[in-house]
């Protein structure tokens, strides 16, 4: 399932107008001019169509547009209703949840250092480069 975040211009609805009453700004929707329909449960419903852009995302990254739902007759006669909003698709929700639950990617760890074998001693306690103490008697290094 894909998630689509939409925003709509309420004043773009048919029969909508901005009014100030009691010092407050409100949006007033005339239900006789609007496609919103009162329901027997007391609520008012407005059907909207969210349609994918033919050319993909626009210059603002919006992938869909929103308009009031058209009737069967309007669709048959190809009536274009005004666009009242836009939307952005956020991808497959199952994939988003799967990525969030996955463990974080492992960081690259450097390879362990290569260990070289110590120099081989000959029969006299000398290393391959000479006796161990050779050249150290005149060493004036303080440590």
pLDDT of residue 70: 87
Three-state secondary structure readout of the chain: CEEEEEEECHHHCCCEEEEEECCEEEEEECCCCCCCEECCCCCEECCEEEEECCCCCCCCCCCEEEEECCCHHHHHCCCCCCEEEEEEEEEEHHHHHHHHHCCCCCCCCCCCCCCCCCCCECCCCCECCECCCCCCCCCCCCC
pLDDT given for residue 129 in this prediction: 53
What is the CB neighbour count within 10 angstroms for residue 16? 17
- Which of 1, 15, 7 has the alpha carbon at shortest distance from 84? 7
The owner of tokens 């007391």 is 42
17-51: pLDDT as tens digits: 999 999 999 999 999 998 888 999 999 999 999 98
Predicted confidence pLDDT, tens digits, the chain (143 residues): 678 899 999 999 989 999 999 999 999 999 999 888 899 999 999 999 998 988 888 888 888 999 998 889 988 999 888 889 999 988 764 554 455 456 666 666 677 777 777 766 655 555 555 555 555 555 666 65
What pLDDT was estimated at residue 93? Answer: 42
């Amino acid at each position: 399932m894909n998630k689509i975040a939409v925003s709509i211009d309420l004043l773009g609805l048919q029969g909508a107008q901005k009014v100030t009453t009691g010092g407050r700004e409100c949006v007033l929707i005339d239900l006789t001019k609007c496609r919103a329909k009162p329901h027997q449960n007391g609520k008012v419903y407005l059907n909207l169509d969210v349609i994918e852009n033919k050319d993909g995302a626009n210059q603002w990254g919006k992938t869909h547009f929103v308009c009031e739902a058209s009737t069967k007759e309007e669709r048959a006669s190809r009536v274009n209703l005004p666009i009242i909003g836009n939307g952005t698709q956020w991808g497959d929700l199952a994939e988003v949840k799967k990525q969030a639950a996955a463990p974080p990617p492992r960081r690259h760890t450097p390879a362990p250092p290569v260990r070289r074998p110590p120099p081989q001693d000959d029969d006299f306690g000398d290393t391959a480069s000479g006796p161990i103490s050779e050249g150290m008697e005149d060493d004036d290094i303080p440590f």
